[in-house]
Amino acid sequence: MEWEVVIGLEIHAQLATKSKIFSGASTAYGAQPNTQACAVDLGFPGVLPVLNQEAVRMAVKFGLAIDAEIAPYSVFARKNYFYPDLPKGYQISQFELPIVGPGHIDIEVDGNIKRIGVTRAHLEEDAGKSLHADFHGLTGIDLNRAGTPLLEIVSEPDMRSAKEAVAYMRKLHELVRYLEICDGNMQEGSFRCDANVSVRPKGQQELGTRTELKNINSFRFVERAINHEVERQIDVIENGGTIIQETRLYDADADETRPMRSKEEANDYRYFPDPDLLPVYIEDSLKEQVKSELPELPAAKKERFMSQFGLDQETAGILTSTRELAHFFELTVEASDNAVKLAANWISGDLLGALNKQSLDITESPIDPVRLGGLIKRISDNTISGKIAKQVFETMWHGQDSADDIIEAQGLKQITDSGAIEAIIDTIIANNPKQVEQYLGGKEKVFGFFVGQVMKETQGKASPAEVNKMLKQKLKK
Amino acid sequence: MHNKTLIELAAGLRSHSYSSVELTQHFLNRIQQHRDLNAFITVSEDIALQQAEQADKKLASGDAGFLTGIPLAQKDIFCTDGVKTTCGSKILDNFIAPYNATVVEKFNDAGAVMLGKLNMDEFAMGSSNETSFYGASKNPWNSDTVPGGSSGGSAAAIAARLTPAATGTDTGGSIRQPAALCGITGLKPTYGRVSRYGMIAYASSLDQGGPMARSAADAAWLLQVMAGFDEKDSTSVDHPVPDYSADLNQPLQGLKIGLPEQFFSDDLDQAIATVIQEAIDEYKKLGAEIKSVSMPHLEFAIPAYYVIASAECSSNLSRYDGVRFGYRCQNPKDLEDMYTRSRGEAFGAEVKRRILMGTYALSAGYYDAYYLKAQKVRRLISNDFKQALSEVDVLMGPVSPSTAFKLGEKTGDPIQMYLSDIYTIAINLAGLPAMSIPAGFVNDMPVGLHIIGNYFEEAKLLQTAHQYQLVTDWHQRSPHGFE
Amino acid sequence: MSLTADDVKKIAHLARLGIDQQNIDNYTQDLSRMLDLMTQMNDLNTDDVAPMAHPLDQQQRLRPDEVTEPNQREKFQSIAPQVENGLYLVPKVID
């Protein structure tokens, strides 16, 4: 039987606020345990939550960026359950009236654009962490993360393959960083993903029973975990079994999913409006203001790069994959006196390659746009050849000098004096009569030998175009 | 000294008739002398004397505010930094609060002296003080009877002159009912008028702190300190705080008083009805006009209240889990065992009933029938009050259907206990301010008059109460043995 | 409306509330009576009534995004049942 896979994702993006969503404690990552958990985060008796305005703004920003409805009136609700990393015995979340309503995100898989529906996005507080390192058989609880603002972004079950799921997740990841509402750091848990996965016979309308996969916090894991789960489900069904609706944990080490023991019993969360918080009203004026501050979004930027710079789809996609990279490119273009093609090639090729090799981010590039632009300028005005440029780039990577300084200091300037090149060519022709004879006899290949000799003689500094032209003239019968 | 009003005490401190230390010691002695009333859970003697010394310095330097050096006591629901804060529960028996409630902070800033923490029903759930883990406080008018609840310790301590005044909280009548049963003056302010920060939550959308004192004039001084916007409480209202003492002496000529028919049904004890009627007659003499009003949905207040309060409390009390503070059971065998035994061993029966009730009302399949329904009923009741208060200035009636009942009389029957809140809880659903003031006696036990006002009209309530207290002396009566 | 002992056990479990076996029947009875009281609301038609969550029609105030809370771990943990290395300790949590 042919199976169709149905996937919906729930993404938790930690919002990049300075303080927590309902308290004035810091959200900075990596502090000593429980040093950033104040009385409100700890759920002490009598303490009360007050909503962080920046968290609201960020949610609105996200909503506007995915063409979603921003609820004029939204409500915080309590989700009640007991867990040691949940200090109050309830999580403040949004249930019936989320701040962001239906919107959408376009993804691209194998050259096709597909629109994925976003059902909703709501604000909620993060929980703390349970540390399972052995404390005489006990678990340690760190509540520093408790109360960190989260935007939970829930998609429609619109994805039909793990590949699509990853594309959607990447797109969201790119977007939240573009909007500067989330640092996107997946290692630190700033951007987390749960997947709802089901299968159904192709052509069937009704959805199959789904399982929820938790703890799939890298793009690679998402793809692998979903594929494993799909295989498992098909296997179960084809062997006459039925899928149980359950939460499963992806174990990256074993590369398999297994049921989560703590989620075995069906939870009854007893949602109700949090009486400690009042309804949130989003005025049109706030929406307008946030809209006016919205950065150019990835899709629009890509369009512009294609039309303004004449880049192809692929290169424009690479250069707009992060806001920082796009910015880097635009600054480089400027510094290179608009050598657009060269800038695009150098950044998407040599620079990203070098960065990747050292696992560096574009923001950590040892060569800044001004220096890179300076190098490109010298290629485009024929001061140096592309080959020499790679040598200059290498030197720039390890130092602080400008391209011009390096070219000057190492004497790498292209020889443009045609008299000097002519003299060298004449000498080479005179010293290699056998090769001249071969060439004139029709062995075109030997031409390369002459070019090589000239380059060797000039240490690569002669303009290849000039050398070609002159050699052709000289070698004419 | 213990029979003086706050104004008299403030004057005495300023004229150096006595120091704050002397005054404080005097009340500490009385508290000691009347320990059997069980009005206090904690007496903070050292802190009180320290604060009194500080106050004396300020009084000497002329750097004193109205309340500087005056001893007061806090209901044990308000968190006090460094002082045990139990909320009447075993689960917080070891809880030394690491911060002050905003209300406590305000009294500290005003220079008041804190004598200690007052007894109360566990988590303010109760109408008799009998659900307290520390045993019930007793009514000074008859030690076989309850002081009312949940702020029973506050009411008993004031009636017995163990403190000149105190704080209370009122979720369904917890300031007004004990005030009525102990013959003192209590004011529940408009919801949002007094900060709830650091005031341990029972039912967040109903809880409101307020003053308890011997007279309306004293209550006005306390409210002056307690009221005001607090940025730490999202439900606190940014509304100007008037001078609550400014209009106390304005006559009541032309005041329109509404009497809700539903407050005077046949169920009302005849003797109490007579006391209330006499009080209303007194208001007529003061120039008030009396009008009957109808509030058709009032009879549904008790079910709506108990659904909402139980639901909110079931969630509010989830934080008592034995992880970060409070009681943890011995040798839990696993996580589940730690939760169920810590909570099972340390919550009392009434708290458990309400947690169970609230958990049920919010659980899947029942939410609409109970919680949502109760919220709709709440709207109808609130609208009744809005309508009535558009026709009159204040509403009056009884506070409690009976005078103080015997200790143990209703403990076996929770429903019977709930019905004793019949006149008070609707006001919390609407969020309105209301008072109880002493209006007479039935069989030597005090009866309270209920005065209900419009939103943020505490000043009018206080004026209405004060004018009555100028022409009556019920509020000055003192129980035998405590004169 | 009446509840069974099993209902009460289920609710007690949701609320993580230990109740002695011998008291289950009492709670069952009390809760059933409480429910009877509450179902009185059904006599009232509330079809077109908007639910009221708060006494006042106020809206949520927003707090500026500023870090205002210092580290008070020592003070907070001085009253904790069990801590080690700054962590609260609980019986083993199983994912």
pLDDT over 70, % of chain A: 98
Q: Round to whole Å and give the CA distance between B136 and B117.
A: 14
Do residue B234 and residue C61 have CB atoms under 8 angstroms apart? Answer: yes
Instruction: State the alpha helices, DSSP H only, in A266-336.
Output: 284-293, 298-309, 313-319, 323-335
The predicted structure's pLDDT at residue B374: 97
Nearby residues of A421 by Cβ (< 8 Å), 6 or more positions away: A415, A454, A458, A462, A466, A467, A470
pLDDT of residue A264 exceeding 60: no
By the 10 Å C-beta count (0-12 exposed, 13-18 middle, 19+ buried), A442 is classed as: exposed
**Smallest Cβ distance to A138: which of C69, C76, C91?**
C91
Q: Is there a contact between C55 and B431 if contact means CB atoms under 8 Å apart?
A: yes
Residues 6+ apart with CB under 8 A from A471: A425, A447, A450, A451, A454
| All chains having 3 or more CB pairs closer than 8 angstroms to chain A | B, C
Task: State the Cα–Cα distance between residues A69 and A71, nearest whole angstrom.
Answer: 6
In the block, which residue shows the tokens 């709207």?
Answer: B379
Compute the distance between CA of residue A143 and CA of residue A126 in angstroms, rounded to an integer: 10
Instruction: Give the model confidence (pLDDT) of B305-322 as tens digits.
Output: 999 999 999 999 999 999
Distance from CA of C28 to the nearest CA of A (A): 20
Using CA atoms, how far apart are residues A103 and A156, in angstroms rounded to an integer?
Answer: 10
Nearest residue of B to residue A81, measured between CA atoms: B318
Query: What's the gap in Å between the CA of B168 and the closest CA on chain C?
Result: 20
Q: Which residues pair with B437 in a beta bridge?
A: B449
For residue B263, what are the CA distances in angstroms to B252, B464, C25? 23, 19, 36
Nearest-by-CA chain B residue for C39: B303
Q: Which of A53, A137, A280 sits opposite C65 (nearest CB)?
A: A53
DSSP A113: E
Residue B4 bears catalytic tag: no
Task: Enumerate the residues of chain B whose CB falls inside 8 A of the CB of residue C49.
Answer: 376-377, 379-380
Respond yes or no: is residue B376 known to be catalytic. Answer: no
Question: Catalytic annotation on B236?
Answer: no
Could you say which of B19, B20, B137, B150 is catalytic? Answer: B150
What's the ipTM? 0.96
Q: How far is B363 from chain C (nearest CA, A)?
A: 9
Choose, out of A60, A73, A75, A138, the residue to mutate when testing the contact with C (most C CBs < 10 Å): A138
pLDDT for A197-226, tens place per residue? 999 999 999 999 999 998 788 899 999 999
- As a whole number, mean pLDDT of residues A374-394 equals 89
A130 neighbourhood in chain C, CB within 8 Å: 93
> Does the distance separating the beta carbons of B380 and C46 come in below 8 Å?
yes
Number of neighbours of residue A163 by Cβ within 10 angstroms: 15
* CB pair distance less than 8 Å for B318 and A278: no
For every residue of B194-245, DSSP letters joined together read: B--TTB--SSTTT--EEEEESSHHHHHHHHHHHBS--TT-TT--------TT
Return the pLDDT at A433. 86
Contacts of A36 in chain C (CB under 8 A): 71
Please tell me the pTM assigned to this model: 0.90
Q: What is the pLDDT of residues B213-251, one digit of tens each?
A: 999 999 999 999 999 999 999 999 999 999 999 999 999
Q: Is the pLDDT of residue A471 over 90?
A: no
Judge whether residue C77 has pLDDT over 90. Answer: yes
Contact A43 B339 (CB under 8 A): no
CB contact (8 A) between residue B234 and residue A275 = no
Question: In terms of C-beta density within 10 A (0-12 exposed, 13-18 middle, 19 or more buried), how is residue A283 classed?
Answer: exposed
Min Cα separation C9/chain B (Å): 10
pLDDT tens for each residue of A228-262: 999 999 999 999 999 999 999 888 888 888 888 76
Q: What is the pLDDT of residue C1?
A: 63
Percent of chain A at pLDDT exceeding 90: 71
pLDDT of residue B435: 98
Q: Is residue A440 predicted with pLDDT exceeding 80?
A: yes
pLDDT at C46 over 90: yes
Are A140 and C85 within 8 A, CB to CB? Answer: yes
The Cα of A350 is separated from the nearest Cα of chain B by a number of Å equal to: 54
Q: Once rounded to an integer, what is the mean pLDDT over residues C71-82?
A: 97
**pLDDT-derived band at B398, boundaries 50, 70, 90:** very high
Point out the catalytic residue in the list B19, B44, B75, B138.
B75
**Interface contacts B/C by beta carbons within 8 Å:** 172
- Looking at every residue in chain B, the average pLDDT score rounds to 97
Q: Is a pLDDT exceeding 80 seen at residue B394?
A: yes
| B187: nearest Cα among B224, B230, B147 | B224
Phi, psi of C67 (to 5 degrees): -85, 115
DSSP letters for B444-471: TEEEEEEEE--TT-HHHHHHHHHHHHHH
Q: What is the pLDDT of residue B416?
A: 86
Distance CA B295, CA A359 (A): 73
Q: What is the mean pLDDT of chain A?
A: 92
Least confident of B9-13, B264-268, B409-413, C50-54: B264-268
Q: pLDDT tens digit string along A41-68?
A: 999 999 999 999 999 999 999 999 999 9
Give the pLDDT of residue A418: 74
Q: How confident is the model at residue B154 (pLDDT cuts 50, 70, 90)?
A: very high
Percentage of chain B beyond pLDDT 90 is: 95
